Amino acid sequence: MESETGIVTIRNVTKSYRRGSQVVPVLEDISFGIRSGEFLALMGPSGSGKSTLLNLIAGIDKVDSGSISIGGCEITTLSDSELAGWRAVNVGFVFQFYNLIPVLTAYENVELPLLLTRLTRRERREHVEAALDIVSLSDRMDHRPSQLSGGQQQRVAIARAVVTDPAILVADEPTGDLDRVSAGEILSLMDHLVRDFQKTIIMVTHDPRAAEKAHVIRHLEKGLLTDG
Amino acid sequence: MFMLKYIIRNAFRHKLRSLLTITGVAIAILAFGLLRTLVGLWYLGVESSSSTRLVTRNAISLVFSLPISYKERIRQIPGVSRVGAMNWFGGIYISEKNFFPNFAVEPRAYLDLYPEFLLSQEEQKGFLLDRQGAVVGRKLAAKYGWKLGDRVVLKGTIFPGQWEFIVRGIYRGAQRSTDETQFFFNWDYLNETMRRTIPRRADQVGIFVVGVSNPERAAEVAQAIDSTFKNSLAETMSETEKAFQLSFVAMTEAIMIAIQIVSYVVIVIIMVVAANTMAMTARERISEYATLKTLGFQWHHIAGAVFGESLFIAILGGSVGILGTFPAAAVIEKELSQFFPSFHVATSTTLLQLAAALIVGASSAVFPTWRAATIRIADGLRRIG
Ligand SMILES: Nc1ncnc2c1ncn2[C@@H]1O[C@H](COP(=O)(O)OP(=O)(O)O)[C@@H](O)[C@H]1O
Ligand SMILES: [Mg+2]
């Protein structure tokens, strides 16, 4: 077991899905911790439960049993709407397919999470501009996602993930849909966020080069952690 | 603010699809409005027939006439203020397709019984003094370009021959709903001609229009008239003008009910079509809604976006439909004036159209809103790729 002082503490988590009358176990008795400022890579074959585990940590899915404590908050006991509020403040999301809203500009996409805060329009503008500056896309803020390359779209997504300044970023195969060069840029950006902004990053990946950047690598196999 | 922007941009995401949906809603609401107007006018016509007038006809059928001698006897019945003989003439102007109602009436009695036909003093005098005089409605005169003093020839159908008339008056209706397409002329002209040509058909009256002094006693008066002629050669049947009109249009009423049903069916159809489109749209956006939820937006934000978009499209289509109803009604009034003396869209119809559009928007939003609001994030996100 990891130290109790970690930002994320996962204890005896199990999760299964129902497929018709069948119960399919996905995660079995998972326990581990993540320290603040850690860059964790979660690896393993397809279908091993990586995304499921990531979703549980990020509070967008519910455990069957076990506990997940993040920054001292036991998120398994929160209701759906409490979780929504909690996510908005504490977690930034980066997806494989960017998941930007096509009808909104880069600026508007990055502004989205801030609409749920009490910030004024002016304050929001400052935050959005700062976030776009981190990902070096200040000159593209009026572009729609369809007018941006894959790598640029993922950078917008990263700006959206960090704009509320959450402690934790979760990324599910963030380079999975990108060419080598763009993937490299995204990974450097993640590295930059860990080093210079003290973010904790949990990243699911297949990419060995992505794993190289990580401080810690964990392997999942058929719902079990095979290391650590 | 953001919601509004998001809703409007979403609504035009698939331009063609939105355009087709909006057009569909617009046409449905337009059709609904015109059909409702048609039905409304028909009922208005029935409603507006006076309750101070009775119609007395042959008890067997309208086909059979009554002797003119009944007129004096009806006049003597208590409660009767005026009596006027009237015959459906059924004349044709040039061609059969130029249909308009034309009757032979007793001028003085008729003008008194029908105060809703407004005629100047000179025109009244002209009509009363000219045996061959005719009075026509303003719309009818406009349609055929008739002016005072014009000679008009009708070809008799029930009463054979070419009948010549001089236009002595052009009446306007006191109300919007007053029929301005009638043609009436002096009953004596008809009767005297019959006396000369087919004597057995002289002194015969199609109906008597009977004015009653107290509308509340109309039923009593009708009964009194009918009992006066009981067991005589031609028994009578008296009823209010409204009942008389209704018996005439019993068949039409069935059609009107059918039209009413159709008007609702049109709305139901567009409801189903719009619901299908909205469901399709929401399904395509499930992962987008899941993303918004991931970012911390709650179910009611998502529900608002889906519902708002559906309502927006329906209101847009509905507005186009409502605005289109007025010019369409004007065209109908102009082109089909012999069927619809006045094709006026009532305010209540416009409100009904608006309500229908809102119902279309709301009902088509129910299922997609529910789906989008209740989708589990993890499931929604998996829809990608
Ligand atoms: N919502 C779901 N319903 C049913 N089965 C699911 C669901 N999500 C994941 N699974 C199943 O759980 C297993 C692990 O899935 P996932 O966590 O996505 O794996 P990975 O990300 O490692 O490829 C797979 O067998 C998958 O089919
Ligand atoms: Mg996965």
- Report the run of H or E that residue B247 belongs to, with start and end: helix B241-248
On whether both B209 and B287 belong to a single domain, the answer is: no
Q: Give CA separation, B8 vs A142, B12, B216, B311, in Å.
A: 18, 7, 59, 11
Q: What is the pLDDT of residue A4?
A: 47
The predicted complex's ipTM stands at: 0.93
Query: Is the shortest distance between the CB of A47 and ligand 1 below 6 Å?
Result: yes
Cβ neighbours of residue A42 closer than 8 Å, sequence gap 6 or more: A50, A53, A54, A202, A203, A204, A205, A218, A220
Amino acid at position B141, single letter: A
**Å from B10 to nearest chain A CA?**
7
On whether both B77 and B192 belong to a single domain, the answer is: yes
Cβ neighbours of residue A200 closer than 8 Å, sequence gap 6 or more: A7, A8, A34, A35, A36, A37, A38, A39, A40, A167, A168, A169, A194
pLDDT tens string for chain A (228 positions)? 444 468 999 999 999 998 888 999 999 999 999 999 999 999 999 999 999 999 999 999 999 999 999 998 999 999 999 999 999 999 999 999 999 999 999 999 999 999 999 999 999 999 999 999 999 999 999 999 999 999 999 999 999 999 999 999 999 999 999 999 999 999 999 999 999 999 999 999 988 888 888 999 999 988 788 875
Test B378 with A61 for CB contact under 8 angstroms.
yes
On whether both B86 and B226 belong to a single domain, the answer is: yes
Do the Cβ atoms of B222 and B91 come closer than 8 Å? no
A92 to chain B: nearest residue by CA? Answer: B295
On whether both B181 and B91 belong to a single domain, the answer is: yes
Task: Give every residue of chain B whose pLDDT is below 50, as ranges.
Answer: 385
For residue B51, being part of any structural domain is answered with no
Q: What is the pLDDT of residue A1?
A: 43
For residue B257, being part of any structural domain is answered with yes
What is the Å distance from ligand 2's center to A87 Cα? 20
Q: What is the pLDDT of residues B42-64, one digit of tens each?
A: 777 666 666 789 999 999 988 89
3-state secondary structure of B68: coil
On whether both B309 and B191 belong to a single domain, the answer is: no
- Report the run of H or E that residue B254 belongs to, with start and end: helix B250-284
For residue B241, being part of any structural domain is answered with no
Q: What is the pLDDT of residue B218?
A: 87
Q: What is the pLDDT of residue A155?
A: 96
Tally of structural domains, chain B? 2
The CA distance from A109 to A100, in Å, is 7
The CA distance from B8 to A112, in Å, is 16
Please state the CATH superfamily assignment of the domain spanning residues A36-62+77-225 in this structure: P-loop containing nucleotide triphosphate hydrolases (3.40.50.300)
Do the Cβ atoms of B128 and B108 come closer than 8 Å? yes
On whether both B68 and B194 belong to a single domain, the answer is: yes
On whether both B223 and B74 belong to a single domain, the answer is: yes
The CA distance from B49 to B16, in Å, is 50
Pull the structure tokens for residue B210: 């009977």
On whether both B78 and B227 belong to a single domain, the answer is: yes
For residue B22, being part of any structural domain is answered with yes
On whether both B224 and B264 belong to a single domain, the answer is: no
Q: What is the pLDDT of residue A3?
A: 45
Q: What is the pLDDT of residues B275-296, one digit of tens each?
A: 999 999 989 999 999 999 999 9
For residue B13, being part of any structural domain is answered with yes
Test A87 with B384 for CB contact under 8 angstroms.
no
Looking from the CA of B73 toward its CB, the CA atoms found within 13 Å total 15
For residue B356, being part of any structural domain is answered with yes
Q: What is the pLDDT of residue B342?
A: 75
Domain with B13, as residue range(s), is 2-44+253-382
Residue B52 burial (CB count, 10 A): 17
The CA distance from B136 to B170, in Å, is 5
For residue B210, being part of any structural domain is answered with yes
**Å from A188 to nearest chain B CA?**
24
